[in-house]
């Protein structure tokens, strides 16, 4: 925490007004403040009566507050020393410091947010690009919640209708299996589409890891610096200068990319170089995309080309300002680039952006959703339960289909926060920052 123009202190709970009141000097009592009205106040030390700050105070009475409880917010000057002192005095009056995510957790427990929207708060805080912000804001506004609630309602109707049909088979009441199966098929297809969309959304939120790999002295470090726009890696004509993985970050197509400059892959001359090569190979396995760099003025390193063939990759014929070796020119689909003349760098960025867009579905943000890993796992479990119930409705007793449909309903409930346990809530909200 550093200096800022404004620092906001939020107090939430049934005694919030009574706890904050002794710190304020105002013409009227804090208990008489109109709800949701901003008032200028003088903040004092309740022990000595000495002034501490001039602030703006807002009282938000339950249930019309972010947490569903009485809330008092003080917008103070952003001095860390002032804020720490005021926090200490408020705690002395009977409050305690909130745990990570506790305000959002109280909002969920008091019905102000469902769990899907509560998790979207963390996604919005963690967003690193404009696209990630837009997707998280859509989730916070209820994008995923509204879709999942539709599945919840449909499943309840399905289960109720099939149970009636099971209890009164002679009267032909409730739902028939053909109608129920058509609904399950529609839900299954919807959830399958959401899973694919959520995976694209995770790419936008988390970003991609791109490793620059190749033989020694191929121009990987120079290319990393050129893509980043500043000198991040040491560049030298001496082969083997890069001994460890060096990283940097840039944004393409609204997606954060972590670029890894790796040690050249060749026969190791010593133990340090051997360790660098081992780390390069580990980076290859852990990266989403490879930029395979080879020196276009010499025969390409067939070892590296063969080793990276099964990975998603973009081939880069570096040092294109030098005469091209005929074997290097024969490598198909390689992008020529020079960090000396900057030739080909724009084309390389465009090619890299195209690869990113394929991973992140940049052309279809209207349908993309962002979800937590927990939510994606539950969507996958929901899809599996719907597939099983679809099969059961076709060739199994109705009781078996109802078991699978109830399992699907439980997965939907876990996404929305219906009947979830404290352990799950503890895990989710522990990832939040303080103040949320």
Superfamily for the 4-97 domain: Probable tRNA modification gtpase trme; domain 1 (3.30.1360.120)
Backbone angles phi, psi at 44, to 5 degrees: -125, 165
Q: In what order do the strands lie in the sheet with 335-336?
A: 246-252, 255-261, 208-213, 289-295, 313-318, 335-336
* Per-residue pLDDT at 275: 82
H or E element that contains 87: helix 80-92
| pLDDT one-digit tens code per residue, 364-377 | 555 678 888 899 99
Residue from 340, 301, 333 nearest 316 by CA: 333
* Average pLDDT, integer, range 123-148: 87
What is the spatial distance between Cα 197 and Cα 415, in angstroms, rounded to a whole number?
A: 16
| pLDDT one-digit tens code per residue, 279-323 | 888 888 888 899 899 888 888 888 888 888 888 899 999 898 899
* Per-residue pLDDT at 88: 95
| pLDDT one-digit tens code per residue, 367-416 | 678 888 899 999 999 999 999 999 999 887 888 899 999 999 999 999 99
* Average pLDDT, integer, range 136-164: 89
- What global pTM score does this model have? 0.75
DSSP string, 243-285: -S-EEEEEEETTEEEEEEE----S--SSHHHHHHHHHHHHHHH
What is the spatial distance between Cα 24 and Cα 30, in angstroms, rounded to a whole number?
A: 8
3 state SS of 289: strand
What is the spatial distance between Cα 51 and Cα 23, in angstroms, rounded to a whole number?
A: 9
Is it the case that residue 431 has pLDDT exceeding 80?
no
Percentage, residues of the chain above pLDDT 70? 92
Is it the case that residue 240 has pLDDT exceeding 50?
no
Neighbours of 289 (CB within 10 A): 18
* Per-residue pLDDT at 243: 46
Taking the domain 212-363, which CATH number applies?
3.40.50.300
139-204+372-429: CATH topology is 1.20.120
Boundaries of every domain in the chain: 4-97, 139-204+372-429, 212-363
């Amino acid at each position: 925490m550093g200096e800022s123009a404004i620092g906001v202190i939020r107090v939430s709970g049934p005694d919030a007004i009574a706890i904050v009141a002794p710190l304020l000097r105002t013409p009227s009592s804090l208990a008489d403040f109109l709800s949701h009205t901003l008032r200028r106040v003088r903040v004092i030390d309740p022990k000595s009566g000495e002034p501490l700050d001039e602030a703006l105070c807002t009282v938000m009475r339950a249930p019309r507050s972010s947490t569903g409880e009485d809330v008092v917010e003080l917008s103070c000057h952003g001095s860390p020393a002032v804020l720490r002192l005021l926090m200490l005095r408020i705690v002395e009056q009977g409050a305690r410091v909130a745990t990570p995510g506790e305000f959002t957790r109280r909002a969920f427990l008091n019905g102000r947010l469902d769990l899907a929207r509560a998790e979207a708060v963390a996604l919005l805080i963690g967003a690193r690009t404009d696209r990630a912000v837009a997707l998280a804001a859509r989730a916070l506004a209820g994008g995923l919640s509204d879709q999942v609630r539709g599945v919840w309602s449909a499943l309840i109707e399905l289960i109720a209708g099939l149970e009636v049909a099971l209890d009164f088979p002679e009267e032909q009441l409730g739902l028939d299996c053909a109608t129920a199966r058509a609904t399950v098929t529609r839900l299954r297809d919807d959830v399958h589409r959401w899973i694919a969309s959520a995976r694209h959304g995770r790419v936008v939120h988390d970003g991609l890891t791109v490793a620059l790999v190749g033989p020694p002295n191929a121009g990987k470090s120079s290319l990393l610096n050129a893509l980043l726009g500043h000198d991040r890696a040491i560049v030298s004509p001496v082969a083997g200068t890069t001994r460890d993985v060096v990283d940097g970050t840039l944004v393409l197509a609204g997606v954060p990319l972590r670029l890894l400059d790796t040690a050249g892959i060749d026969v190791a001359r010593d133990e340090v170089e051997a360790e660098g090569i081992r780390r390069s190979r580990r980076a290859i396995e852990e990266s989403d995309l490879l930029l395979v760099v080879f020196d276009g003025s010499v025969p390409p390193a067939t070892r590296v080309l063969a080793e990276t063939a099964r990975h998603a990759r973009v081939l880069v014929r570096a040092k294109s300002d030098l005469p091209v070796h005929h074997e290097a020119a024969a490598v198909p689909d390689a992008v020529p680039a020079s960090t000396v003349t900057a030739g080909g760098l724009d084309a390389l960025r465009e090619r890299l952006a195209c690869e990113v867009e394929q991973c992140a579905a940049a052309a279809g943000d209207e349908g993309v959703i962002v979800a937590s890993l927990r939510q994606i796992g539950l969507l996958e479990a929901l899809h599996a339960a719907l597939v099983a119930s679809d099969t059961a409705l076709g060739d199994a007793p109705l009781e078996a289909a109802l078991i699978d449909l109830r399992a699907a309903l439980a997965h939907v409930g876990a996404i929305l926060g219906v009947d979830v346990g404290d352990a799950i809530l503890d895990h989710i909200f522990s990832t939040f920052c303080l103040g949320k």
